[in-house]
Structure 1
Amino acid sequence: MTKNELGIQAMQEGKFEEAAKYFTEAIDENPREPVFYVNFGNLLAALNENERAIRFYEKAIELNETTATAYYGLGTVYYNQNNVQKAKDYFEKAMKHGLKHGDLFFMLGMCLNHLDQPRLALPYFQRAVELNEDDIEAMFQYGLSLAQSGLMEEAKKQFQLVIQLDENHSDAYYNLGVAYAYEEKTEKAHEMFEKALNIQPDHLLAGHAKKLIEEAKKQQP
C-alpha cells in the first residue's frame, strides 16, 4: 500500500495521528499531488481543525484548480460553520468539476433548503435518493422539500418510504401527519401524530398538533 492509502486506512480506523504521519510523508515525497492535500484536509476537518483544513484544500486547488474533492471539502467546512451561501458556491464548483456522488447532491439540497429555496433543492435531493435508495436522511429531506413546495402527495410517498426503512423515524410520522392534516384527513393525521409520540414522547410538534385535532373534535356539534 502507498503512504496515501495507509493514511486513508488509518483515518478510517480512527488512528488520526498515524494518518497524519502517512499523509505528511506522502506530501513530502510528492508535494505536487493535490489529492494528498485533500486527504490531509479531510483529516483536519474530521478533527474540527477547520482553518488548517481550509488551507490544505486551497493548496490542492492551487496545484490543480479542477480538483473537485477539494471544493467539496471546502463546502463541507463552510456548511458546518453555518456559512451556507459560501458552502453552496463550493459545492457547485465541485459539481462543475465532475463530482457526481450522492453526498454532494444531498449537501446542495440542504444548502438550498437553508436558503429558503425548497423548490430548487428538489432535483438535488431527488438525485441523491436515486444514487442511494437506502439514504434515509436524503429521502426525508426530499419529502420535506416536496411538502414545503406544496407537493403533498409526492411528499407523503417519501415519508412512507422513510418509515418502511426506519419504523422508528418519529419526524417522518409527524410530517406525514402534517400532510394528512393539510388534506383535511384529520383521523389519519391524528393517527400519525400518535405514532410519532409513541416513538418520541417529548416530540413537542406532534404533541401540539395532536392536541389541536382533539380540541377541534370536542367543539364539533
Structure 2
Amino acid sequence: MNVARKHLEDAIKINPEYAEAYYKLGLLLKKEDQADEALEHFQKAVSIREDYAEAQCELAIALTEKGEHEAARNHFLNALEINPSYADAYFHYALLLVELKDIEEAKNNFDKVTEIDQNYAEGYYQKARLLNNPDDFEDARKNFETAIDIRPDYIDGHYYMGKLLSGGVATSKEGSIIDRTDLPEAKKHFLRVLELDKNHSKALYNLARILSREEKYKQAHECLEKALKINPSYSKAHFLFAHVLTELKASAKAKTHFAFSIEHYEDNAPAHFRLGVILAESGKKREAREHLQKAVTLNPEHAEAHYHLARILSTDEDPAPAKKHFFRALEIKPDFALAYYRLAHHLERSGDLNEAKV
C-alpha cells in the first residue's frame, strides 16, 4: 500500500494536473481510514476534471460521511449527469436519500441500480429494507430473495429475511391485514446467519424468540445464553431470557434478568411490569409498587400493569388510588373479569357497597 502511495505521489509531483492520480490516491487514503486527506484528493481530482464521474461519486460519499449532505447531493447528481448508467452512484445517492428521510426517492434510485445491474445484491437488499408497510410484504420478500440468490452468503440478507418472515404482516388483495408469518422458513434464515457468523447475537436472539413461541424453552435458553455471552448489555435478550426462565420455573433467575433488561434500557415498560409482578408474588410490595408505577407511566395503556398496581394499592388506607387503577384497567380492557372481581371486593372493603354491587 505504501509503495503504491509513493508512486502516486511521485506521479502528482511530476504532473500536478493528473486527476486520475489524485483519484487513485484518494481511494488508497480512504482504505487507510484517512477520510479528510481522501476527501481533499477527490476534491482536487474534480477541480481538475469536472467530468470525472467516479471522482464526483467518491467525493459525494466522503461528503456524506462528514454530514455535508447538500454538497454530497450535488456531487452525486453531477456524477449521474456525466454517466446516467452509473449504478454505484445511484446506490450511494439512494443511501443519502434514506438518511435525508426521502424514502420514496430512495426507492426509485435503488430501482435504478437494479435496472442497470441486475446482479447488484445490495440494491435489492436496501430496497427491501425500505418496504416495511403491510402492502409491501411480497415485494420486500422478493427483493430479499433476489439479494440472497445473487449472494448466498449475504448475512444481512438472511437476517432481515428472517425478521420479515417472523413478523409477517401483509395486506390481501381485498385490502385486509393478513398474517404471512412463516416461522419454519424464518428459522432457516437465522440458522444460515449463524452458519456464516456464529457470534451474531441478534440472530441468536431472534432464533430464541421463535423457539420460545414454539414452547421449546430449553433450546431458547441455550441460544440466549450464547447471545448474552457475546453481548452482555443486550436488553431485549435479557428480557426474553427472563421470560424463558419463568417458563422453566426459575423465577429467581428470571428476576435477575428482568432487572438486567431494565439496567440496559431504563424505559422498558414490559420488564418493569414483569419484574413488578414477580416482586409482588414474593411479598416485596414496596419494590413491586415502584416497578408497576413505572410500567403504567411508560405505557398508560397496559391494563394488566394497572390491575397489579391496584391490587398492591388496595391495602393502603386511602381506597381512591387503587380504585382509580382498577377502573383504568377496565377502561382499557372491558372484558377483564378478574379486575371486576377484585374491584368489587375493594369497594366492599372500603364501604362503597352500592358501587360494589354495580
**TM-score (norm: length of structure 2):** 0.53
8 Å contact from structure 1 (residues 119, 146) kept in 2: no
Match of 1:172 among 237, 242, 255: 237
The 2-side partners of 1:99 and 1:35 are apart by 21
Match of 2:116 among 63, 84, 90: 63
Aligned-residue offset at 1:201: 5.1
The 1-side partners of 2:265 and 2:86 are apart by 49
The equivalent residue for 2:75 is: 22
SS in 1 for 2:220: helix
Match of 1:96 among 140, 149, 172: 149
**Structure 2, unpaired ranges of 5+:** 1-22, 24-53, 169-180, 284-358
Aligned-residue offset at 1:132: 4.3
Match of 2:224 among 159, 166, 182: 159
The equivalent residue for 1:189 is: 254
Match of 1:114 among 145, 158, 167: 167
Larger radius of gyration: 2
Distance 1:138 1:15, change over 3 A: farther
* Letter aligned with residue 90 of structure 1: N
Query: Identity of aligned pairs, percent?
Result: 20
The 2-side partners of 1:175 and 1:181 are apart by 10
* Letter aligned with residue 72 of structure 2: A
Distance 1:99 1:26, change over 3 A: farther
Aligned-residue offset at 1:102: 1.8
8 Å contact from structure 2 (residues 110, 124) kept in 1: yes
Aligned-residue offset at 1:155: 1.9
The equivalent residue for 1:139 is: 204
Match of 1:43 among 96, 99, 116: 96
2:270 is the alignment partner of 1:205: yes
The equivalent residue for 1:127 is: 192
8 Å contact from structure 2 (residues 148, 154) kept in 1: no
- The structure showing larger relative contact order (alpha-carbon pairs under 8 Å, at least 6 residues apart) is 1
* Letter aligned with residue 122 of structure 1: K
Cα deviation, 1:15-42, whole Å, max 9, x if unaligned, reads 2223223322322232223232222222
The 1-side partners of 2:61 and 2:182 are apart by 36
Aligned residues: 217
Match of 1:6 among 49, 59, 63: 59
8 Å contact from structure 1 (residues 61, 67) kept in 2: yes
8 Å contact from structure 2 (residues 242, 257) kept in 1: yes
The 2-side partners of 1:138 and 1:18 are apart by 38
The 2-side partners of 1:142 and 1:10 are apart by 38
Cα deviation, 1:194-219, whole Å, max 9, x if unaligned, reads 3334444553323333344455556x
CA RMSD in angstroms, aligned pairs only: 2.7
Distance 1:126 1:14, change over 3 A: farther
The 1-side partners of 2:62 and 2:207 are apart by 33
* More off after superposition, 144-153 vs 68-77: 144-153
Distance 1:24 1:99, change over 3 A: farther
* More off after superposition, 184-193 vs 111-120: 184-193
The 1-side partners of 2:69 and 2:263 are apart by 40
**TM-score (norm: length of structure 1):** 0.81
* Letter aligned with residue 66 of structure 1: N
8 Å contact from structure 1 (residues 85, 111) kept in 2: no
**Structure 1, unpaired ranges of 5+:** none
The 2-side partners of 1:75 and 1:102 are apart by 14
8 Å contact from structure 2 (residues 241, 257) kept in 1: yes
Cα deviation, 1:101-129, whole Å, max 9, x if unaligned, reads 32211211111121133332122223334
> Where has structure 1 moved over 6 Å in runs of 4 or more?
none
Distance 1:189 1:97, change over 3 A: same
The 2-side partners of 1:170 and 1:11 are apart by 31
